[in-house]
Every structure is written in structure tokens, then in C-alpha cells.
Structure 1
Amino acid sequence: MKKIIYSLLFFYLIGNINAQQTPANKQTTPFSIEGATAHLGNGTVIENSLIMFNEGKITFVGSAMMKIARQGTIINAKGKHIYPGFIAANATLGLVEIDAVKASDDQREIGIMNPHIRSLIAYNAESKIIESMRPNGVLMAQITPRGGTISGTSSVTQLDAWNWEDAAIKKDGAIHMNWPSSFTSGRWWLGEDPALKPDKNYPKNVNRIISYFSDAKVYLAGNKTPKNLPFEATKELFDGNQKLFIHVSGEKEITDAITEMKKLGINNLVIVHGVGAENISELLVSNNVPVILDRPHRNPNSEDDAYDYTYTIAKTLTDKGILVGLGMEGQMERMNSRNLPFYAGTFAAHGLSKEDALKLITHNNAKILGILDFTGTLEVGKDATLFISEGDALDMRTNIITKAFIQGRDISLETHQTTLWKRYANKYKAK
């Protein structure tokens, strides 16, 4: 009997050590953070600030010099910096845990046209990858499906939750579509020429998309029999209540995508990737179409592009009046999502001001994802989703977070990585 008890105790302790951090409880007492430099996320900076929040909402934003009663727990943050929680757009956090384990991979569904597929219900709130986002200030993310021509719907979550129901802060806000390329390359492994060449199937691939949405539009205007769930899932696109995120690059492709969707009556559009968007900026601005850029730490797509194209593109598009956000799609995208602020910092090192670079992952991403009315900046009435950093949060040398809150909840910054770091730091201190 004792052996059984000891075994159960052993596995209980091991399970607790390896388990995800327990989500924080609902805020019950007010907080007042004073003395820090506050970066509001909308371009405004307040030196020696005072930020107060209660019941999950920000109640005061201003100067600490103002004679106003502090509420609840007072945090002295003199010499530190306060930021709104960073938002990772176009991410697959919580959809894949281990790339090599197929059973943990739920980022795509079988089929080509899947507007009815919901990424949210596949979201694993207890992913160890998710907990590693918080120590860098990444507190929210757009959970995005992959694959097919129409991948499904994305939702926005906060990254400290028991389950997907608790995590969701905006459900099914967008449908994602992969627009075809007008160029193709040969399969080198079959001895074909790997060079790019015009794809003769491009018009046919585009017409397939147009036909699908046209059929959906006819179905929605009719008696809806027999019931077609994929078609019904497109209703909010035509009503303008849901955004269509078009994953596309190339001047011709972006132009075709915007033009054809507008003809169909789908007007709430977002371009994802957007290589070449700088050359058709008037089209984007006139149609109020924002762009979610890829991470800058990559090679240019074309040998004709400038060597620093991927670093300067955010500045280029911003100067042309386009609303720009930053997404995470790419190699090892889930693990690399924790580096979101440092990618924004790279854009800051190549033309953007620090506050404009910050907007890419706060205000701009919030506006593009449709959550700016309650988060994304430090303003009275918005969610108290914010953090305190020792220094510049866009610089990996000084992004040292000491406190973080999601909707006013004082969240844990401990992860399996910090546990190992402390373990081995203590080992070498002992010597």
C-alpha cells in the first residue's frame, strides 16, 4: 500500500513540475503602476506615468505627477517601461505541439474549400509552446488554420487560459484564403527545370475561387436547400461582418484578388504576405486594405529585390499610407512567435521609429484583427492586458519582463524553459 501511495505522490509531483502553469485568477483588487515610461501602443509615450486598473479594465492613464489617489496594490516601476500586451497575427500557436508527432498536428483539414472549419476548437490552451510566449510580452495571438484554398476561420485568443472557451477574445473573426500564384516552378526532384515560369493554370485556378464564392452567394440568396455548411459559413463575409484574409504575393495576384473579391461583394479584405504590395499602394489605400507582413529575418523572394527588402518593407508601406501589421507564418513559426517583439525591433532598426514599430504588434495588429475597441493600446476602458519590462521590449538584450497582466489577472511568467534556466544557473553558481 505504501508503495502505491509513494508512486502516486511521485507521479503527482512530476506532473506538476512538467505541467502548464495554472491560469491566473480573476482580478479582485486594483493595481496602480507608477513611475515607468508608458508606451501606449498608439505612438504616444508618457514619461513617469501612472497606470491604474481594476476588474480587468484600465481606469486611469496619465502622469504620476497628477494628484490622484492610487488604488489597491501600488507597484513602483521607476526606471522601467510599460507596454500593452503584444499580439501575434497569422500564427498557429496551440494547433501543433511537436512537428514530428502527427497526432499533435491539427493546423489543417482535409479538403480544398473549408470556410466552415474553425481553428479555435482545435486550440490547445495548455501547450508548452504557448506558455513560452508570455515572458517576452506576447500575450495574445490570432490562431490561424493552414492548407487548402480556403483554410477556415481564425480566432483571437489570450495566452493564459484553461481551455479554448476561456482563451477566446474574438471568435471566428476572419476566413483565410490562399490565392494561387501566376508563376510555377518545375519539380527538380523529377528532373524538371526548377526556374520560375508563367503558370498556364492560373486563370483556371482563379476562376475556381470566383465560381465557389459565386455559388455561395446564390445559395445564401435562395432557400438554402439542401443545407450546405461551407456556403453558410461565408455569409458574414458578404455581410461585411467577417474579414477575408487573402494570403497572396505578387503585384498581379494582389490586384486580381482585391478586384475579384470586390466584384463579388466581399469588401472587408486583408492581404497577408503582400510581397510586391509597395508597387500597388494606391489600390490598397483606396480600398482600405491593410497588409500583414511576414517576419523580416528571411531572404528576399526575388533576386531583383534589394538585399534589405525584407527589413525595410514595413517602413516603405507605412510611408505610403498602408496599415501594416506583423505576422508569424514561416519556418518554425510556433516556436519563433516568442520573438515577435524582436522582429518588430528589426523593422525599427531599418527605418521605422521605435513607436511605429511597436504599433505593428499592438495598435495595428489589434485594428486589423478587429479587437482595437477593447485591447491593443493602453487606454481607459480597455482590457488591462499589459506588462512591465526592465528596458526596451523590442530589444532582446533589455526585454526582461518582471510583471504581466492579462485582463487584469496577474499571470505567471514561469515556463519549462525558465525552470531549466534557473536549475542550471544555480548549478554553475554553486561552483
Structure 2
Amino acid sequence: MSGATNTMTLPTLALPSPYGTVSEYTMTGPGEFTRPGAPIASRKVYAAAHVVPQMTADNTPGAPAELDWDATLAYRHELWSYGLGVADAMDTAQRGMGLDYAATCELIRRSAAEAADVVASGRYPALAGRTVRDLVACGAGTDQVDPATVEPGADGLATVTAAYLEMLDVVESSGAKAIVMCSRALAKVATSAEDYLDVYAKVFERASQPVIVHWLGTMFDPALAGYWGSEDIPTATATFNRLLAQHADKIDGVKVSLLDAEHEKQLRARLPEGVRLYTGDDFNYPELIDGDGELYSDALLGIFAAIYPAASTALQAYDAGDAARGRAILDSTRELGKHIFAAPTFYYKTGIAFLSWLNGHQDGFQMVGGLHSGRSIAHLAHTFVLADKAGLLLKPELAAERMRELLAVYGIPQDGSAPPEAHA
């Protein structure tokens, strides 16, 4: 929630709108967010974290990913300090959109090693008694297989299965919890629902500990059309439910990213005992986390990497028995989430990196593969406004200075020449 009682003089900027106009906006100030003094207990949550590139690297499409490891890992510490787990090497970290296989494997190993050090040191009171698997869960996918190189049939399925098992070994050997991601290559080679069930069964058989199963919708990755053997969601859901029922003992939970709250509620009600529903709905997370009085969703969310101070404070309120306050805080971030994840949804990572830069967690606004160009300056300006209104620009002067620098690059003056009408 925004710091409306702040008496300091806050910056005013001239910001563009999608309609070609420029108008003044005065910032409202940071919210009153707190780090927890004890582990969060009411919900189990992971924030899906982004990666920070070397600012001097060739951050263009197709170039190898060169990460700024200090900044990338420091962001994970920031999330941990607020009591949140980290979901790493996921689509938020640009899997399939710039983060190559070698960098993915190194990210998994480094993030898990950092988490092990945090557990051993007891650095954060909010993580007392937590394990490495609580601190970090990493995606096991098939990135090393180019879908263009495999064909439907037994050979293609064997190639995809081998790739899954290779990456599962990378994740589990690091000590992290494994998240079995959707596979573009599997979508290419599978010809039936049974193909999906057979491949996933082999992955579960290899897993030494329960995994999270991720269902990523086509709004996040159009190449996953027809996943689980059908483009019809009810039919695909029936296959998904079969998978869960057959392997419940090997599944910690499911992460569903279809941006459909009613579908998630129905799925949640049918889960086998002991299997969690980690919401991946970056539009409807407030109501899904809040629950219906009987059932609620845990969370594994990209938006939590952007709103983590508010998310943590909301969860602390739930822990304290003040569900109304927890829900109100989450609701105060909803419009920001809807905007960051607006279509084309797969560019949401740009908004998360943008807020990271505004808040001083990286030196420049760049992304692996040139993805920082994925949103317009008008979109970014509205991201700035919504983040400020939600109290999530924690250092207003720094955020304003950086926003002015970006606006100047786009030829938008900050010399008082903008018309004075209110920003839409």
C-alpha cells in the first residue's frame, strides 16, 4: 500500500501515455512494508526471479547469455530476506527467450549453492528452519533440444525424455527442488495424451524427491499449443488430472499458469491429498491466495519478483490472522500485475527487470537477448505509475532519476515543457 502519509516533497515527472500525450505525474512514495522476523507459515510461496546480464555484454537476440552473477544472486538474497522462496531458471529467468542451456545450468548451481550458504549461516530470521528446497526450486526442462531437430514418434520422445532426465539430474544434484517445466520439444513430438503421460512418468520415476509440475499456457509460450494432447482445456485438464492421480506420491505440487481463476479453483478442489496448488495466475493471485474459506492456493509467481515487499507483508498479515489486511495489500498490487502481464504476456519479464533497475538492484536497464526492448516507453511509464501507486518504488529519488534518464533517451523532455493535465 502506498505511503500516502509521507510528508517529504516527492518528484514530479513528465510521462507519456499510449495516446501520444505527455503529462505530469507526482510520485506518492513507498509503502509501509516489513521484512518478517520469523518464517512465513500461512502459505508456501516462491517468487520466480529474473536474471541480470553483464551491462557490457552483447545483449542482443541470439547472443550467449553473460550474466552479472553478483547482481543476479543479490536479487535472490533480497527475495529471501523477505521470507520468500525463489523459483529459479524458470520462464521469468528467460528460459526459451535468451537464457541458453549453459547459462541455465550455471544459474541453477549458483543459486542452489547460495541457498545452501543461507541455510548454513542462518542469515535471515525469516528462513529459520528452512531447507535448500524451501529456498530454491529450479526448472527442469528440455532447452538443450531444438524442437526443429526432432520429429514425432518414438525417437523424438526418447530424445525429449533423455533431455528431461539430464536436466533433472542437474537440478537435484544442486540440492534444489525440481520444477518439471513444459517442453516445446515434447509438444512437437507428442501425438497423443499417452505420450505426455509416458514421458512424465519416466521423469517422476527418476526424481529422488517430490517435484512441482508446471502447466504453462500459450499466452506465455505459443509453442506449447496442444499441451497434454489437446488444445481443448477441459480435455487437457482431464489428462493432467490423470497424471496427478497416478503419481501423487512423487508430486509436491502443481503450478498452473493459465490466467483462469475458475479453472484453477476447480483443479484445486480435485487435487490428490498432499498435492499443493501453486498459483501461477499473475492476474488473479489475490483471490486465489486468499481462498474461499476452505481451500486456498500457495504461490509460484513471476509477479512476486516485482511486488515482493508487498507480497511478504501481506503474507505476514495472513500469519497474524488478519486476512482482510493481507487481501487488501495483495489487491493494491493487482493493477500493476495486470499491466506487467498484459498481452503479449511473454514480455512480462521486461517489466520485472525494469522495476529491478528503478529500485537500484541492477546498474542498467538491459536484459539477456535484448528483451529490454520488449515494451514501449508508454507501457514502461505506466508501469512506473502503477508501481509507485502500489508503494513499490522504495527509493523515489533514485527511481525518478533513472526514469528521467530513460525518458531523455526516448526524446521526452523533463524541463517543464509537458502540458500540466493529470496523467491518465
TM-score normalised according to structure 1 size: 0.36
More helix by share: 2
More strand by share: 1
**Max Rg structure:** 1
Greater relative CO, 1 or 2 (CA 8 Å, sep 6+):
2
TM-score normalised according to structure 2 size: 0.37
